[in-house]
Amino acid sequence: AQSVTQLGSHVSVSEGALVLLRCNYSSSVPPYLFWYVQYPNQGLQLLLKYTSAATLVKGINGFEAEFKKSETSFHLTKPSAHMSDAAEYFCAVTLGGASKIIFGSGTRLSIRP
């Protein structure tokens, strides 16, 4: 069965600093991977997805993620953090043909002025 592990339940960075949120997956076959963002008191929104095309995936709001098969990782990055990036971020995985997505436990991102 597939699963994802998000390292760090809370990450705090200064405004303008690099954002790095870590996600490792476990899957016996090539997975599809996602990052979702949840702003306070809202549902989740799709940030970006990897579906076996380019390994570097660009998403909304300047975020990107790189699929590394050798490391079974799909870390989320943004070169320069903005105050509006403060939210909870979820990594998720599914298999091709599957009808449901499995979510990680989430990482709360805080931005210091």
Partner 1 sequence: NAGVTQTPKFRVLKTGQSMTLLCAQDMNHEYMYWYRQDPGMGLRLIHYSVGEGTTAKGEVPDGYNVSRLKKQNFLLGLESAAPSQTSVYFCASSYSRDRGLDYGYTFGSGTRLTVV
Q: Each residue of 44-75: b (16+ CB within 10 Å) or e?
A: beebbbbeeeeeebebeeebbbebeeeeebbb
| Region from 15-23, 70-78, 79-87, 90-98 binding partner 1, contact rule CB under 8 A | 90-98
For residues 32-61, which are near partner 1 according to CB under 8 A? 32, 34, 36, 41-46, 49, 51
Q: Does residue 100 touch partner 1 according to CB under 8 A?
A: yes
Which residues pair with residue 64 across a beta bridge? Answer: 58, 77
CB 32 within 8 A of CB 92: no
Q: Does residue 97 touch partner 1 according to CB under 8 A?
A: yes
| Residue ranges in contact with partner 1 by CB under 8 A | 6, 9, 32, 34, 36, 41-46, 49, 51, 90, 94, 96-106
